[in-house]
Amino acid sequence: MPPPIRQTKVDACPGALRLHAAADGPLARVRVPGGMLTGTQLAALGEIGPPELTSRANLQLRALNDVDPTALAARLSAVGLLPSSTHETVRNIAAPPLAGTTLRTLVADLDRALCADPALAALPGRFLFALGDVPLTADLAAVPLGDGGAFTILFAGHDAGLRVPATAVVATLLAAAHAFLGERADVTAWRLHEMPDGPARVAAKLGAPLTPHPVTRTPEPTGIGLLQQPDGLVAVSALVPLGMLGGEALRLLTTARRLVITPERGVVVPDLTPEAARRWQRRLEDAGLPTTPGSRWTGVTACAGRPGCAKSLADVRADAAATSEFTDGLPVHWIGCARGCGSPSGAHVRVEATPTGYAVTRQPTGETFDAIASARRI
């Protein structure tokens, strides 16, 4: 599928300062590098409004009709969620939810270095960095190679043979981001893969003239339940139905010392002893956040739909909530129009609202299922 044709070099990705005028009111998107935040930070967001989890493991707040933007920025800054007023929409860094100390440190180092580089404020808001294996297509990624401490640098999922030690990862990624901006001067592209021969052109600027070849990486989903961390501690992973946090679930998560948001719109409470992990699992279940395999919410996601999106043809969240998971074992994503906001990058079932009901297709093949005129078990 060819890259989309862009009409402008400046995208309109919302941020915490650049709010999006959604149908239900202003929307703020708060970047959370590596999906990592504290319970205190989540509490600060919850005081403003119920947070929503995004497919890039960020958080957003909707319907901010009565919120002063200046006061919003001050509140986010006070808890460390807005460290830069110039780079807030480009702090897009993904990492595995169970990332060890090395990757977590690299996330923090990359975030600080990115914000300290004035030129990189020009990166599009969709440009994505990744540290480690993630289920997202990153523009620039650094993936560990075994236990030797070396990292391979991937350019829009392409390997050009560039290997660097951990100490050079941040500098290499920033140099590649500068190269992207330089090559983008005469091309309208928000993402590296949208640029003609983008991976090869940017890799060559970093002295990696090998012809990049695509790398097929299929990171396992985070999963739910009790998960063993690399350091021997235990994490509890839970689904957040349709990515919407509120009520007792939100109050419970604000008591955690550390949290990790996942691209599957879930949440992980890490760094626990086995006994503490079992207690957290019970409390999360009681709060309505599934932690056991086989939940009807497994793999079920949805775009905003009505009333939040003016382009949506249906209240897809309400319809998704009225159904069960797809029986073919694939993730199911409900969308209110053909734009497909928030769609998974891998194989999934697409449930698209149309003027005459829902069209159900298997992606990426486009194989058609019987259309459903109203929400029902698929």
Confidence of residue 216 (pLDDT cuts 50, 70, 90): confident
Q: How far apart are CA 361 and CA 348, in angstroms?
A: 9
Contacts made by residues 13-21, CB under 8 angstroms, sequence distance 24+: 13/89, 13/124, 13/125, 13/126, 14/60, 14/89, 15/88, 15/89, 15/125, 16/72, 16/73, 16/76, 16/81, 16/82, 16/88, 17/69, 17/73, 17/82, 17/85, 17/88, 18/88, 18/89, 19/64, 19/69
The better pLDDT of the pair 3, 345 is held by: 345
Query: Tell me, what's the pLDDT at 1?
Result: 36
Decide which of 11 and 271 is more confident. Answer: 271
In this predicted model, which residue has the larger pLDDT, 10 or 199? Answer: 199
Residue 308: its pLDDT value, please?
Answer: 87
pLDDT of 367 reads 87
Mean pLDDT of the chain: 90
pLDDT of res. 324: 61
Mean pLDDT computed over 370-376: 43
Q: Which two tokens stand for residue 63?
A: 């319907």
Percent of residues, the chain, with pLDDT higher than 70: 93
pLDDT over 70 at 5, yes or no:
no
3-6 contacts: CB < 8 A, separation 24 or more?
3/189, 3/191, 3/193, 3/194, 4/194, 5/188, 6/188, 6/189, 6/190, 6/194
pLDDT digits (tens, 9 = 90+) for 225-251: 999 998 899 999 999 999 999 999 999
Confidence of residue 2 (pLDDT cuts 50, 70, 90): very low
C-alpha to C-alpha distance for 276 and 372, rounded to whole angstroms:
44
Instruction: Say what the pLDDT of residue 46 is.
Output: 97
Q: How many CB atoms lie within 10 A of CB 251?
A: 14
Strand-pair partners of 348: 363
Confidence of residue 39 (pLDDT cuts 50, 70, 90): very high
Mean pLDDT, range 157-185, rounded to an integer? 97
